[in-house]
Amino acid sequence: KPDHDDDTHPDDEPPQPPRGGRPALRVVK
């Protein structure tokens, strides 16, 4: 899985900082 997600992060990974100016939302695809 890529670790350059914009605002989607797997539950097993820590939240990443917003890349597109958006808040880091815990959204699982």
CA distance 17 to 12: 16
Query: Tens place of pLDDT for every residue, the chain, 29 residues?
Result: 555 555 565 566 666 666 665 665 666 55
- Residue listed under structure tokens 């992060």: 9
Cβ pair 16, 10 in contact under 8 A: no
Contacts of 23 (CB under 8 A, 6+ apart): 7
Position 4 scores a pLDDT of 58
Position 29 scores a pLDDT of 57
Instruction: Quickly list DSSP for the chain.
Output: --S--SSB--TTSPPPPPSSS-----B--
